[in-house]
Structure 1
Amino acid sequence: MSHSTSRRGLLFGAAAVSTGALLAGCTSNETKDESPAADAGSAADDKPGKHVTIGFAGPQADHGWLNAINDNAKNRAKKYSDVTLEITEGSNDTAAQIGQIETLINKKVDVLVVLPADGKALTQVGLKAMRAGIPVVNLDRIFNSPQAYRCWIGGDNYGMGLNAGTYIGEKLKGKSNARVVELAGLDNLELTKQRTQGFDDALKNYPNIKKVARQAAEFTVESGQAKMAQLLQAQSRFDALWNHDDDQGVGALRAIDQAGRDDFLMVGGAGALSAFQAIKQDDGVLKATVLYPPTMAASAIDLARALGQGKGVTGMAEFEIPASITLYSAVVDKDNVDRYMPTGFR
């Protein structure tokens, strides 16, 4: 695999979205940062251009994935001598995050990158920025109105479930009366419902497989351990487990170890470094994880820079960047884990 191919693949978790594979104005120039996340991905236009001030506002980094979002944004911005990043402290309080974004609007930043704690609640401030002539890159959690952003980039929750279910289905397709269980995330989130729907739809293609139990956890180590213990106690036999989130998967693996169970395969979700390491070691139940790549924040900085410089996406005929980019939920197992290891988050 060539160096350039590996870097493009790392940018999006898989080289599956042709519109996002190469972003104009998105490579390193004079300023270098050596962190793997910052170096994950590249594009054709590496010449410094018009200076762009990018305002970045996200929720509080109270979860490994969200912390990785912030790190990816900061490290990506460091690569460019023509980018200044104004990053807010981050808050899960809607009013506080709106206030932070309004401050960035008042500072007259050139472009905004926003990962809203609540997309619906922050739609109005997205509209305010756009009306003020500040293009908004809406990251992951989507605003209610397409008028509130210029470009949306994010993960594919349905695709996570679909790819996890397909991977499990292929592993169990020769087994009669196969049984699977699901350890979901927060059930009040739409993304959790989408992940479950994708998983269920994939399993429809494997009539030999039945989902016999589902528990919802809370994306935390503690909840993962507690809910997995309940699943193990209730289900004396099953052949596969899909866990929606690698952070809560740390707790799930503890419960599995405590129960002395190794009679099934486990697939995780998101792409934590601990999951990659366990997959590579290959001495436990965790055999794969489906990506929800935090490198999307690095790509959002690329998109914001391109917007600020009036550029499009290299490799596409259009002068403008796309209105939306959905990243691919690649399956990472022992065969390809080395490729993705640099993108793993802690």
Structure 2
Amino acid sequence: MSQLTSRRGLLFGTAAVSAGALLAGCTSNEPKEKEQAADPQPAADDKPGKPVTIGFAGPQADHGWLAAINSNAKSRAEKYEDVTLEITEGSNDTAAQIGQIETLINKKVDVLVILPADGKALTQVGLKAMAAGIPVVNLDRIFNTPQAYRCWIGGDNYGMGLNAGHYIGEKLKDKSDARVIELAGLDNLELTKQRTQGFDDALKNYPNIRKVARQAAEFTVESGQAKMAQLLQAQSKFDALWNHDDDQGVGALRAIEQAGRDDFLMVGGAGALSAFQAIKQDEGVLKATVLYPPTMAASAIDLARALGQGKGVGGLAEFEIPASLTLYSAVVDKTNVDQYMSTGFE
């Protein structure tokens, strides 16, 4: 059997049952502490097996969450004696990232893990890898067609908004004419629209709550501070704020402090260490954050290793790894923040 034929077999279901590939934070609505660790421990099937070279390509780590994606992938790969990780420099330029992935294809890596800067724009290179017999684990930002990947794993943007809305709704359910505002991310991203839609859908369950204002920021500290200052100036009274991203939340909290406001509760998003620390101290408006866990990169390495070794996922009856895995957006507040503290990214 040729190398190409054997690789193509992995794409279409010749994998064997295995206890391997524990998926950190993917398989439970109540993740255990061990599954959420920033440096997750390998699964039960961590005994060295067939050597696997994994190519990893992501965007430029110009954001705390993206930097955490890279560090989770690297640290997970280092846990396995049988895994060699070929990681690219990372780029937000579509052409540059395509070139980096094509280099990995030409090197004939066993499996590719790709977090595309733009899923639509990079679909063709995913298709090229699959056609070459290299299974692709598509991380978070999804390609346009399932033919471009063997498995997708990522966060639940709609669920993130939904859980933020329900948390705020439960806190304000007994308050008449409650008012909430929203500090969103980049409005040209589909994920921002999904987060807002989930939030709005959750609030429909609470007829006493109205969303009275919304501003879109840019996932940066500076934009968070500027847009939050505008919201505070326009809204003299509200009861809760949902901020889509903990990085821009650093700026939002600066604006709140400068304005001397403490008459509302704030819920963040993603799971930055600074947010966890503020929640634990419980001395300000930030009371909770909704996870978008970067541990998905560690789980992607597990999936890639399983594909390269012809294994399935422990705890599932199927012979093959699933076609998709959506992470759960857990709410972290002072009741459970200690459990998640080690997962916080800087």
Using the TM superposition, give the Cα deviation of residue 16 of structure 1 relative to its aligned residue in structure 2, in angstroms: 2.1
Using the TM superposition, give the Cα deviation of residue 15 of structure 1 relative to its aligned residue in structure 2, in angstroms: 2.8
2:73 is aligned to 73
Letter in 2 for 1:37: A
- CA offset digits 1:280-322 (Å, max 9, x no partner): 0000000000000000000000000000000001111111000
2:111 is aligned to 111
Alpha carbons of 1:14 and 1:237: their partners in 2 closer, same or farther (altered >3 Å)?
farther
Distance 1:199 1:244 in 2: 10
Structure 2: 5+ residue stretches without partners:
1-21
1:89 is aligned to 89
1:231 is aligned to 231
Distance 2:65 2:120 in 1: 21
Alpha carbons of 1:243 and 1:50: their partners in 2 closer, same or farther (altered >3 Å)?
same
Alpha carbons of 1:14 and 1:212: their partners in 2 closer, same or farther (altered >3 Å)?
farther
Residue aligned with 2:284, SS? coil
2:12 is aligned to none
**Of the candidates 1, 21, 28, which is equivalent to residue 15 of structure 1?**
28
Letter in 2 for 1:253: L
Q: Is the 8 A contact 2:30 2:330 kept in 1?
A: no
Q: Is the 8 A contact 2:26 2:326 kept in 1?
A: no
Using the TM superposition, give the Cα deviation of residue 14 of structure 1 relative to its aligned residue in structure 2, in angstroms: 7.9
Distance 1:334 1:165 in 2: 18
Using the TM superposition, give the Cα deviation of residue 37 of structure 1 relative to its aligned residue in structure 2, in angstroms: 1.9
- Show the 5 A alignment for 1:116-265: 116-265=116-265
Q: Is the 8 A contact 2:26 2:325 kept in 1?
A: no
Distance 1:224 1:41 in 2: 35
Scaled by the length of structure 2, what TM-score is found? 0.91
Q: Is the 8 A contact 1:13 1:329 kept in 2?
A: no
Using the TM superposition, give the Cα deviation of residue 47 of structure 1 relative to its aligned residue in structure 2, in angstroms: 1.4
Using the TM superposition, give the Cα deviation of residue 17 of structure 1 relative to its aligned residue in structure 2, in angstroms: 8.4
Scaled by the length of structure 1, what TM-score is found? 0.91
2:38 is aligned to 37
Distance 2:38 2:308 in 1: 23
Distance 2:137 2:29 in 1: 21
Residue aligned with 1:211, SS? strand
- CA offset digits 1:112-151 (Å, max 9, x no partner): 0000000000000000000000000000000001000000
Structure 1 residue ranges (4+ consecutive) displaced by more than 6 angstroms after TM superposition: none
The alignment covers a number of residue pairs equal to 323
Alpha carbons of 1:238 and 1:270: their partners in 2 closer, same or farther (altered >3 Å)?
same
Residue aligned with 1:263, SS? coil
Q: Does 1:57 align with 2:57?
A: yes
- CA offset digits 1:89-110 (Å, max 9, x no partner): 0000000000000000000000
Structure 1: 5+ residue stretches without partners:
1-7, 22-26, 28-35
Q: Percent identity?
A: 87
Distance 1:289 1:14 in 2: 20
* Bigger relative CO (Cα 8 Å, ≥ 6 apart): 2
Distance 2:298 2:143 in 1: 20
Residue aligned with 1:297, SS? helix
Q: Is the 8 A contact 1:110 1:134 kept in 2?
A: yes
Q: Is the 8 A contact 2:220 2:248 kept in 1?
A: yes
Alpha carbons of 1:197 and 1:258: their partners in 2 closer, same or farther (altered >3 Å)?
same
Residue aligned with 1:142, SS? coil
2:15 is aligned to none
Q: Is the 8 A contact 1:13 1:293 kept in 2?
A: no
Distance 1:149 1:17 in 2: 28
